[in-house]
Amino acid sequence: MKELELACEQFRTLLSEQLERVAKMNDEKVDYSAKDVITIGIVAGDGIGPIIMDQAVRVLHKLLDDKIAAGKICIKTIEGLTIENRLRLGKPVPEDVLAQIKSCDVLLKGPTTTPMGGKMESANVTLRRELDLYANVRPVCIPEEGIDWVFYRENTEGEYVLGSRGVELPGMAVDFKVTTDAGTRRIARAAFEYARQNGKNRVSIVTKANIMKKTDGKFTAICHEVAENYPGITADDWYIDIMTANLVNPAIRNQFQVFVLPNLYGDIITDEAAQIQGGVGTAGSANIGDRYAMFEAIHGSAPRMLEEGLGDYANPASILKAEAMLLRHICCAEEAQKLEAALAACKTVVTGDANGATCQSYADSLMELL
Ligand code: IPM
Ligand code: MG
């Protein structure tokens, strides 16, 4: 069958590309504290993106204006990562936009719409790959329940890396999942380092290694290898199905601290975790690599809110939490702390509809607390 030959040929190409990707990985980390100027790129995205980003930028200026005036921080607005532009050019991230993004150190990014089906890759996935942002860090905190979770989701491999490049034969479709030693080692190290530096004594490894024997089997084994370098920290194994149940079990859920998990499971369980905290609009998300980092809202572009004329009621909490993570990442710990404290203290309630405050009035109240 001709299709079979073509599919085998494609598989060979994919395998060699993946081997090349791994060969290029290195661990050189940028030191932000040693940089003269740090450039923060602002990418508003689509749907409610520009609405929440306007407020996030106002807050950023209020926190950083001294450092901007002193030339230590530069804020650069990057246009063109909109669904209209991406569809027009047929590129998930147009080349000129990518070049501008690469001229920054870190990004604050609004949600970008991913067309369902078709060939177009999600802009998020493209950016995570192009900038090699391998650690998706998603904290979820519910102090009154003693919950303080941080998810370390592998962000460049698994089902995502070849997600738009599966094969189809007549009557059949196949997608691929890729797990590498080097890719797993770096996310495991990031999770255990976080645990060590933040006084945590447990890292839970979450996979489905009983079924995905090769890929998740490798993920588990490498995480345990890394764990050997962290004697005070327990590494425990869980399957994703039972962990999904554990998170809604109030009797045990506050015992978990740090999670490390492959890409797709991390995607799914972090929405669940965010919902437990109060909704996907309440969680921030950091995509960290050794050279670049991108901070974003965990939720999507909410086109339905715009269709219903409710855009102004979008909740900026998620992007603001991401902003606090960005500030911490670029060694502005004091500003990050201020923003986190204001977010925790702000009593204005945004409900996503006309019963709650608008995005702007929420930001107004927050600014008064800064
Ligand atoms: C996320 C999102 C993305 C993902 C989408 C937008 C591609 O759900 O950041 O969790 O699946 O990773
Ligand atoms: Mg998701």
Euclidean distance between CA atoms 342 and 336, whole angstroms: 10
Band (355; pLDDT cuts 50, 70, 90): very high
Q: Which residues pair with 293 in a beta bridge?
A: 106, 288
Residue minimizing CA distance to atom 11 of ligand 1: 267
Q: Is residue 211 assigned to a domain?
A: no
**Structural domain that includes position 319:** 31-133+289-370
pLDDT digits (tens, 9 = 90+) for 241-300: 999 999 999 999 999 999 999 999 999 999 999 999 988 878 889 999 999 999 998 788
Q: Is residue 94 assigned to a domain?
A: yes
Hey, which of 116, 124, 264 would you mutate to test ligand 1's pocket, going by the most ligand atoms within 8 Å of its Cβ?
Answer: 124
The answer, yes or no, to whether residue 41 has pLDDT greater than 80, is: yes
Evaluated on CA atoms 301, 304, 306, 309, the torsion sign reads negative
Q: Is residue 366 assigned to a domain?
A: yes
Total Cβ atoms within 10 A of residue 255: 11
pLDDT of residue 238: 98
Q: What is the pTM of this model?
A: 0.93
Hey, which of 81, 122, 160 would you mutate to test ligand 1's pocket, going by the most ligand atoms within 8 Å of its Cβ?
Answer: 122
Residues 6+ apart with CB under 8 A from 58: 363, 367
Place of tokens 């998020």: 124
181: Cα separation from own chain's centroid: 21
Query: Would you state the structure tokens that stand for residue 14, as one six-digit string?
Result: 């994919």
In the chain, how many domains are there?
1
Q: Is residue 116 assigned to a domain?
A: yes
pLDDT digits (tens, 9 = 90+) for 61-82: 999 999 999 999 999 999 999 9
Measure 269 CA to ligand 2 centroid, in angstroms: 8
The answer, yes or no, to whether residue 33 has pLDDT greater than 90, is: no
Q: Which ligand is nearest to the CA of 111?
A: 1
List pocket residues of ligand 1, CB cut-off 6 Å. 114, 122, 124-125, 267
Q: Which of 224, 194, 195 is nearest to 207 (CA)?
A: 224
DSSP conformational letter for 15: H
CATH number at 107 reads 3.40.718.10
pLDDT digits (tens, 9 = 90+) for 82-139: 999 999 999 999 999 999 999 999 999 999 998 777 778 889 989 999 999 999 999 9
Hey, which of 129, 156, 267 would you mutate to test ligand 1's pocket, going by the most ligand atoms within 8 Å of its Cβ?
Answer: 267
Measure 285 CA to ligand 2 centroid, in angstroms: 10
Q: Is residue 44 assigned to a domain?
A: yes
Euclidean distance between CA atoms 370 and 339, whole angstroms: 7
Residues 6+ apart with CB under 8 A from 233: 192, 195, 196, 200, 201, 202, 203, 227
Q: Is residue 208 assigned to a domain?
A: no
Ligand 1 atom nearest 125 alpha carbon: 7
**Percentage of the chain with pLDDT > 70?**
100
Q: Is residue 210 assigned to a domain?
A: no
Q: Which ligand is nearest to the CA of 271?
A: 2
Average pLDDT of the residues in 305-312: 95
Distances (CA, A) of 104 to 74, 100, 141: 9, 7, 30
Q: Is residue 161 assigned to a domain?
A: no
Euclidean distance between CA atoms 176 and 181, whole angstroms: 17
Evaluated on CA atoms 105, 14, 269, 192, the torsion sign reads negative
